[in-house]
Amino acid sequence: MDEQVQKLLDELKKKDKSTYEHSIRVADLIQKYSMAANLGIELTQGLIFCAVLHDIGKLILPNRILKKAGPLTDSEWEAVREHPRLGSKLIRQVFGCDRLWESCIVMTHHERMDGHGYPSGLHGEEIPLEARIIAVADAVDVMLHGREYQKPMSSDECKREVLRCSGTQFDPGAVAVFTHEII
């Protein structure tokens, strides 16, 4: 892996191990997706770069929010919802013009097809395809691994949930590949 990518991942691992492990698993799902959809080497490499760094903006969030045990206040949620923008900016700072498109993918990984995502409320195909694919991988990993207060779903439950959100939260094409080939 690129030395600068590895350095960012090392920092993330030190600060927030669970986000680091989640990022590695999302990259693994993306690798599977790329093979299933026959994406080709260039697109696959770009997607994996985005997958490992999609939550890198969390490096900039304070630990008192990132590691808070109880529910977050409104203003803390607002800060968390800044992580796509922070991550995108960090990628531009570290990699410059070489990774402008990837910084755009990271910026848009929490957008939703129905326009109810963040940070910009983009709709449908206004969201880059790569970001729509990462959004499904991101959610699938959270469903299958659970969170502190949420136990993991079975593959069947996860599949049902992803299909339920197809077209509103998720891109139907990406959902079809995940539900037929991966989950």
Binding footprint of Fe ion on the chain (CB under 5 A)? 55, 138
H or E element in which residue 77 lies: helix 74-80
- The Cα-based distances of 131 to 29, 84, 136, 153, 155 in angstroms read 14, 11, 9, 23, 23
Based on CB atoms, which residue is closest to Fe ion, 16 or 55?
Answer: 55
Neighbouring-strand partners of residue 150 = 147
CB of 82 to Fe ion, least distance (A): 11
CB of 83 to Fe ion, least distance (A): 6
Alpha carbon 26 to its chain's center: 7
Based on CB atoms, which residue is closest to Fe ion, 57 or 97?
Answer: 57
Rounded Cα distance between 24 and 55, Å, is: 11
Based on CB atoms, which residue is closest to Fe ion, 138 or 171?
Answer: 138
CB of 81 to Fe ion, least distance (A): 9
CB of 153 to Fe ion, least distance (A): 16
Based on CB atoms, which residue is closest to Fe ion, 38 or 143?
Answer: 143
Task: Give the phi and the psi of residue 103 in degrees, each rounded to 5.
Answer: -65, -30
CB of 84 to Fe ion, least distance (A): 6
Q: How many CB atoms lie within 10 A of CB 36?
A: 13
Rounded Cα distance between 2 and 5, Å, is: 5
Based on CB atoms, which residue is closest to Fe ion, 5 or 97?
Answer: 5
Based on CB atoms, which residue is closest to Fe ion, 21 or 114?
Answer: 21
CB of 138 to Fe ion, least distance (A): 4
Burial class (CB in 10 A: 0-12, 13-18, 19+), 80: middle
Give me 19's structure tokens: 């986000």
